[in-house]
Amino acid sequence: MILHEKISAQLPAWRDRIRTLAKEHADVVVDTVTIGEVVGGMRDTKSLLTDISYVDPGEGIRFRGMSIPEVLKKLPKARGGKMPLVGGLYYLLMVGEVPTKEQAMEVEAEWAKRADVPDYVFKTIKTMPKETHPMTLFSQAVLALQNGSVFAERYHSMKRDIYWEAALEDSLNLTAKLPVIAAYIYRLKYFGENKKPRYNPRQDYGLNFARMTKVSDKKGYAELMRLYFIIHSDHESGNASAHATHLTGSTLSDVYYAFSAGLNALAGPLHGLANQECLGWLIEVKNKFGGVPTRDELYKFSWDTLNSGHVIPGYGHAVLRVPDPRYMAQLEFAKKRFPEDELVRLAELVFDVVPQVLKEQGKAKNPAPNVDAISGTLQHYYGVREFDFYTVLFGVGRALGVTANYVWARALGQPIERPKSLTTKMLEDVVAQAEPEQPAPQPA
């Protein structure tokens, strides 16, 4: 299989580089840790290693060194579409090279072979109470698949240096099944349909998902979902979903356990769930003003949100200090295809007003929009209007990045993660040593 061959060929060189760093340069200082970082959620502490993607604060994500515009331009396109094949992106993340169309299609073909979901998984989802959040259903379905893990089955019989092969098998099986599971959850939860969606091997990942969700503009939605899955795939390793997946995987839990943990992190409102909150906020604005408000009205509404103690969803970022290129790619998509849509016009106005409000408030380090600020608006246009489903879509995309990381972490023998904690008293002692109290000035 193509991904196996390509990774296998690169492995000796990568292992050599890591071995050299670990053996010969282990004591070289990369970064120092401040008290601000320890009490502040490890923000900016440089302590993770990945070659799959990197977030530059001033520029945004690069997948294997390529910016989003480059990825969208250079990856092979789906038949009849302008957006790349998702299989091509998976190849890029896994292998580190831009695939030919044939290579991208090989990944797509692997997915088609592996997309069948066992019946008991659908039953597990169906059995849950109707009001269960779709992220809970999604995470549970992923866990339910765990008993098919090749990694878990072979664990006692395989040597460490081939862990990655079983990890790759699991990752392909998992990512192949996710669109089917997500579409099933969508049709069951909002339309009461209990029918197993069928993956069509003649269609690509994006079109399959669009067809299985049964939106009316299948072709348009397939284009959106190709873009969506690609841009949501990875955001280096420190974000909560990637990190939760990596941490869980570092215990040699298989990819089902690891990704389910990642999904549970994605389900938080400060992370992936923000996309459902964003559209809710935009619609609240639209309803309050009966359409797109004036600049002044929006300015005041934004301040009201802040003054009521809430964040403005979709704005701010832990690492980025510029508008998120993933936001820009989606805005461009919408402006090319449906510039007159009321919510798109509103999202643009928000982009004009909210950064100014956040700057005036002076708290957020980055007053610019992130990926979530507009993703729901695009879903809404294509008729997917069930807000609480949006994080499931994010999850399908995120699986591509975190599983590529999972495979490489096993290939490079990355160890179990175990950072050290301190007590408050210990930190206070560190401060006392670093900043000894000055003696009180003596009278002259």
Residue 351 · residue 343 · CB < 8 Å:
no
- Measured from the CB atom, is 245 or 366 closer to ligand NMX? 366
Shortest distance, position 324 Cβ to ligand NMX, whole Å: 8
Q: Is 359 in the site for ligand NMX (CB under 6 A)?
A: no
Supply 305's token pair. Answer: 């949100």
User: Which one of 197, 262, 293, 316 is in contact with ligand NMX (CB under 6 A)?
Assistant: 316
Binders of ligand NMX among residues 15 to 74 (CB under 6 A) are: 43
Contacts of residue 160, Cβ cutoff 8 Å, sequence gap at least 6: 413
**If you search the block for the tokens 């070659």, which residue do you land on?**
51
* Marked catalytic residue, from 232, 235, 243, 271: 271
Question: Is 372 marked active-site?
Answer: yes
User: Mapping DSSP to helix (H, G, I), strand (E, B) and coil, where does residue 342 land?
Assistant: helix
Residue 84 · residue 222 · CB < 8 Å:
no
Rounded to 5 degrees, what are φ and ψ at 428?
-60, -35
**If you search the block for the tokens 């302590």, which residue do you land on?**
47
- Measured from the CB atom, is 175 or 366 closer to ligand NMX? 366
Residue facing ligand MLT at closest CB distance: 239
Amino acid of residue 47: S
The residue ranges that bind ligand MLT (CB under 6 A) are 235, 239, 241, 318-319, 370-371
- Measured from the CB atom, is 145 or 320 closer to ligand MLT? 320
Question: Is 246 marked active-site?
Answer: no
- Measured from the CB atom, is 90 or 394 closer to ligand MLT? 394
Residue 31 · residue 293 · CB < 8 Å:
no
Count the neighbouring beta carbons within 10 Å of the beta carbon of residue 19. 12
Q: Is 372 in the site for ligand NMX (CB under 6 A)?
A: yes
Question: Is 271 marked active-site?
Answer: yes
d(CA 184, CA 138): 10
Q: Name the segment binding ligand NMX (CB under 6 A); options: 166-174, 256-264, 340-348, 358-366.
A: 358-366
Residue 7 · residue 411 · CB < 8 Å:
yes
* Marked catalytic residue, from 246, 317, 324, 380: 317
Rounded to 5 degrees, what are φ and ψ at 31?
-160, 160
- Measured from the CB atom, is 81 or 268 closer to ligand MLT? 268
d(CA 326, CA 303): 26
User: Which one of 226, 317, 380, 410 is in contact with ligand NMX (CB under 6 A)?
Assistant: 317
User: Which one of 140, 171, 302, 370 is in contact with ligand NMX (CB under 6 A)?
Assistant: 370
* Marked catalytic residue, from 372, 380, 388, 429: 372
Binders of ligand NMX among residues 262 to 281 (CB under 6 A) are: 270-272, 274
d(CA 248, CA 226): 28
Binders of ligand NMX among residues 203 to 222 (CB under 6 A) are: none
Burial class (CB in 10 A: 0-12, 13-18, 19+), 189: buried
Binders of ligand NMX among residues 131 to 170 (CB under 6 A) are: none
Q: Is 197 in the site for ligand NMX (CB under 6 A)?
A: no
d(CA 374, CA 224): 12
Count the neighbouring beta carbons within 10 Å of the beta carbon of residue 196. 14
Q: Which does 315 bind (CB under 5 to 8 A by kind): ligand MLT, ligand NMX, none?
A: ligand NMX
User: Which one of 363, 426, 428, 431 is in contact with ligand NMX (CB under 6 A)?
Assistant: 363
Q: Name the segment binding ligand NMX (CB under 6 A); options: 11-19, 91-99, 115-123, 369-377.
A: 369-377
Residue 31 · residue 46 · CB < 8 Å:
yes
For the annotated catalytic residues, the residue numbers are 271, 317, 372
Q: Which residues bind ligand NMX (CB under 6 A)?
A: 43, 270-272, 274, 306, 311-318, 363-366, 370-372
